[in-house]
Amino acid sequence: MAQGKRYTDATKRFDRAHLHGPSEAIDLVKSLATAKFDESIDISILLGVDPRKADQIVRGTVALPAGTGKDIRVAVFATGEAATAAADAGADIVGGEELVAEVEGGMLDFDLAIATPELMPQVGKLGRVLGPRGLMPNPKTGTVTPDPAKAVEQFKGGTVEYRTDRNGNVHVSIGKASFEPDGLITNFSTLIEELNRAKPASSKGRYIKKVTLSSTMGPGVKVDPSRLDEVAVR
């Protein structure tokens, strides 16, 4: 796919093969985010795991202290008091059977789905719709819970999901280009700590193999995996 002139110009401003320290990489990525909108700052991490093996899938959630800067739309599958509480907590869409029917009919105007355990038998039928989009609620990520209101508050406040793709990569947005460097550094460090905590016991050899930072419209900047402990708030 052809890249735009802004992207091409950005690639000429630094050595794309150089491995940077985390703080240096964050400063560089921020300087390369020159679009007219507030670009996201994204991280891609290649882990030394085999996602084809169930015990090596790395998946969970992490609360980013500085938030993500994104206004995510949350749908909650719940009824009764749980539904009321979720709506009060800021859920954008709340419903039971009727919401299941709407989603089955093609309504996907949300970025995250949360469900109570009681609704999962019905929500489970939406696997073909929600699964490919990464929207299926799952207990491992806290999106199947008897307390959806708390989950809404957490995800609206900066909690993000992470999961290895079929190649062993984890992709997470750690903030916006408008964030102060300290906020991005804190989020970066928090994510790395969480991934190290979630390391499968069966993973052998180097665990964090490659780290790349980029803005929405900018080129990737390589981070030296051996220097991840250098992150420090300035």
Question: Which residue has tokens 């749980």?
Answer: 82
> The whole model's pTM is what?
0.82
What residues of the chain score a pLDDT lower than 50? 1-2, 233-234
C-alpha closest to that of 166 among 79, 76, 58, 64: 58
> DSSP letter at 14?
S
- Are 175 and 184 in contact, with CB atoms under 8 Å apart? yes
Tell me, what's the pLDDT at 7? 81
Instruction: State how far the Cα of 110 lies from the Cα of 105, in Å rounded to an integer.
Output: 14
What would the DSSP string read from start to end of 138-199? -GGGT-B-S-HHHHHHHHHTTEEEEE--TTSEEEEEEEETTS-HHHHHHHHHHHHHHHHHT-
- Which DSSP state fits 218? S
Q: What is the pLDDT at residue 1?
A: 38
Q: Which two tokens stand for residue 230?
A: 């250098």
Instruction: Give the pLDDT confidence score for residue 85 in this predicted structure.
Output: 97
Environment class of 36 (CB within 10 Å of its CB; exposed 0-12, middle 13-18, buried 19+): exposed
The pLDDT value given to residue 2: 45
Domains and CATH numbers, the chain: 11-68+159-230 (3.30.190.20), 74-156 (3.40.50.790)
Look at the alpha carbons of 224, 228, 229, 232 in this order and tell me if their dihedral is positive or negative: positive
Which residues lie closer than 8 Å to 61 by C-beta, 6 or more apart?
141, 142, 154, 159, 160, 161, 162
DSSP symbol at 133: G
